[in-house]
Structure 1
Amino acid sequence: MNDHYLKKLDRVTAILTQLQSKPIVRAQDLAQKFEVSVRTIYRDVKTLENAGIPIVGEAGSGYSLMDGYKLPPVMFTKEEVLSFITAEKLMQKFLHQSLGNHYQTAMEKVRSVLKYSDKNLIENIEKQIDVYNYHPKTEDNIKNVIPIILESIAEKKQLTMEYKTMDSKISTRTIEAVGVFFEFNYWYIMAFCTLRNDFRQFRVDRILQIFKTQNPFLQEYGQINDYRKSGNGNKTTVKLLVEKKIMNHLVNSKKYYGLIDEVDTENGVELTFETEWINDGFPRWLITFADYATILEPEILQTKLNDLLIKISGKHK
């Protein structure tokens, strides 16, 4: 069997796996995933149909397996089994506690369908992999908070919650959750807040109570990254010239503080930000590397930084 037919066999098998794991699969998405033409995908689907797989749908719309059709358990390659072990170690360190039991149960089901040799492989190698996390996990006030949030997104139902703000004030909010994300060791909800009539992000560990209502969403939402990129509130453009030798220390934080452009110059790296935190958050971050940076604009940032330095100096005389 030549290389062309081996690739086709691998691709057709992978398409069958996609059909097993999703309610509907578009030919365009498959073509992009496997880096082939849409016409090639059509031929691959026809190959599956000729093999007796009952596929519902047609070219141009999407494909799915006939409801009720069952296939034998999926077999995993050795490389996939090793990736499961690594992923499990990562999840043990970073998984939100409200998802922990569900993930553990899911992994037990995965292990149950592995070949005997693969089970031995896991037993022999899982103690040789570890992930070190130097940040303590945050503790939730309630159980199953993220599953409740995800259910509300899937069902497009509003949530009502009691939330403790940064200054320890408690407020009741009705929100329409767009998604959840993990950043700087905390889980957040990105949501439309009906009280503020705008998009907000809420730290999950500050939720005191949360309930899924029967009220439907007021509007349709896109992907979570659409809202995280656009942000909300009034933004200020900031430009800094930073020495190249410290750029490695800013890899993660610069994006958090609104980086939109980065240009290498002879004198350093010119960073452009759009930030909502010009009055407090941005100056406090800048002070951590201010001796390696020059403020190009705006002047107000220089004023804010100087005021902060004077305040710090006065407290530590």
Structure 2
Amino acid sequence: MNDHYLKKIDRVTAILTQLQSKPTVRAQDLAAKFDVSIRTIYRDVKTLENAGIPIIGEAGNGYSLMDGYKLPPIMFTKEEILSFITAEKLMQKFSHQSLGNHYQMAMEKVRSVLRHSDKNLILNIEKQIDVYNYYVQSDDSIKNVIPTILESIAEKTQLIIEYRTVDSRVTNRTIEAVGIFFEFNYWYIMAFCTMRKDFRQFRVDRILQIFKTQNHFSQEYGQINDYRKKTNENAIKVRLLVDKKIINHLTYSKKYYGLTEEVDKGDHVELTFETDCIDEGFPRWLITFADFAEVLEPEYLKTKLRDLVMTISKKME
């Protein structure tokens, strides 16, 4: 079976899903969705009719399924349906673009098997839910980059990536992906780098090219969080004494900067970190609440903080 017929089968199946998920579907909308001519859609609808699918309507007026025709139903509670709608809103704002289209297609399949009353529930409630994202989403030059990574993990095959580092150098790496994670508005790969002979994390939006090879690896890497911890083995220990008045404002950022322990000290909280960004990131973060904090260790951080404050003061003169 050649690619033409495989694509036709996929498209015809998707058209059936569209017919099941909406009251009426226009041929021009289907043509735009699947990037084919309207005449091709007419032929696809005829294929469904020849297969015994009871389609009502004519070219130019829109198509619908005969009332009562359903595939074997999947029953969801109203609470489950509302959770789907909420999850869909979250995916629209926070999912990686290479996953968004696949999720949308999956949701259309879910909608297609809902009862008529449940479809009305979605229509009535979906515009009453929104998610406000204050972060600029990153643009990736590669289509389906995360599905490619996930396929390599499932198949245990090496990836070759062209990667732009934080200082804008471009390097080629062969990696064995362990997993992916989302943190502070970016997607990352955790992987074993064959060049460094160690585990590294790579930000997905900095991948310029990615190729899935036929080279299999047999190493069992375990869970992704185990290797995220290993990347901090050479980190520097930092201890801060922070006023309780502002501790709630650091809920998420303190974890990002490597929080390992939090001890109540009356009016203050002692925070212990393991960080590998002691020269730049950590002192710049600390300066945002430095008037409510005391550096207990290391002395080096105090020096970096003083230098940063002096630099800022000179610019304000």
Shorter-chain TM-score: which interval?
Answer: 0.7 to 0.9
Separation in 2, partners of 1:233, 1:162: 27
Is the CA contact (8 Å cut-off) linking 2:232 and 2:274 kept in structure 1? no
Match of 1:186 in 2: 186
Is the CA contact (8 Å cut-off) linking 1:199 and 1:232 kept in structure 2? no
**Could you give the per-residue CA deviations for residues 176-206 of structure 1, whole angstroms, max 9, x where no partner exists?**
1111111111111111111111111111111
Is the CA contact (8 Å cut-off) linking 2:232 and 2:275 kept in structure 1? no
Is the CA contact (8 Å cut-off) linking 1:163 and 1:172 kept in structure 2? yes
Question: Which SS does the other structure have where 1:99 is aligned?
Answer: helix
Structure 1 residue 315: deviation in Å?
Answer: 3.1
Match of 2:93 in 1: 93
Match of 1:306 in 2: 306
Match of 2:199 in 1: 199
**Could you give the per-residue CA deviations for residues 22-78 of structure 1, whole angstroms, max 9, x where no partner exists?**
xxxxxxxxxxxxxxxxxxxxxxxxxxxxxxxxxxxxxxxxxxxxxxxxx95431111
**Counterpart AA for 2:306:** N
Separation in 1, partners of 2:217, 2:251: 37
Match of 1:245 in 2: 245
- Matching of residues 132-211 of structure 1 within 5 Å: 132-211=132-211
Structure 1 residue 266: deviation in Å?
Answer: 1.6
Question: Where does structure 1 differ by over 4 angstroms across 4 or more consecutive aligned residues?
Answer: none
Structure 1 residue 279: deviation in Å?
Answer: 2.0
Mean alpha-carbon deviation: is it higher for 152-161 or for 305-314? 305-314
Match of 1:271 in 2: 271
Match of 1:49 in 2: none
Tell me the matched-pair count. 247
Question: Which SS does the other structure have where 1:279 is aligned?
Answer: coil
- Matching of residues 41-52 of structure 1 within 5 Å: none
TM-score, normalised via structure 1 length: 0.75
**Counterpart AA for 1:121:** L
Separation in 1, partners of 2:259, 2:294: 16
- Matching of residues 46-61 of structure 1 within 5 Å: none
Is the CA contact (8 Å cut-off) linking 1:200 and 1:232 kept in structure 2? no
Structure 1 residue 233: deviation in Å?
Answer: 5.1
- Larger-Rg structure: 2
Mean alpha-carbon deviation: is it higher for 212-221 or for 165-174? 212-221
Match of 2:113 in 1: 113
Structure 1 residue 88: deviation in Å?
Answer: 0.5
**Counterpart AA for 1:84:** F
Match of 1:235 in 2: 235
Structure 1 residue 117: deviation in Å?
Answer: 1.0
Is the CA contact (8 Å cut-off) linking 1:233 and 1:276 kept in structure 2? no
Structure 1 residue 173: deviation in Å?
Answer: 0.5
Separation in 1, partners of 2:223, 2:106: 26
Mean alpha-carbon deviation: is it higher for 80-89 or for 233-242? 233-242
Change in Cα spacing, 1:73 to 1:225, as seen in structure 2 (3 Å) is farther
Mean alpha-carbon deviation: is it higher for 103-112 or for 196-205? 196-205
Question: Which SS does the other structure have where 1:287 is aligned?
Answer: helix
Match of 2:21 in 1: none
Match of 1:224 in 2: 224
**Could you give the per-residue CA deviations for residues 99-149 of structure 1, whole angstroms, max 9, x where no partner exists?**
111111000000111111111111111111111111121100111100000
Separation in 2, partners of 1:148, 1:288: 39
Question: Which SS does the other structure have where 1:154 is aligned?
Answer: helix
Structure 1 residue 267: deviation in Å?
Answer: 3.5
Question: Which SS does the other structure have where 1:310 is aligned?
Answer: helix
Match of 1:126 in 2: 126
Separation in 1, partners of 2:209, 2:262: 42
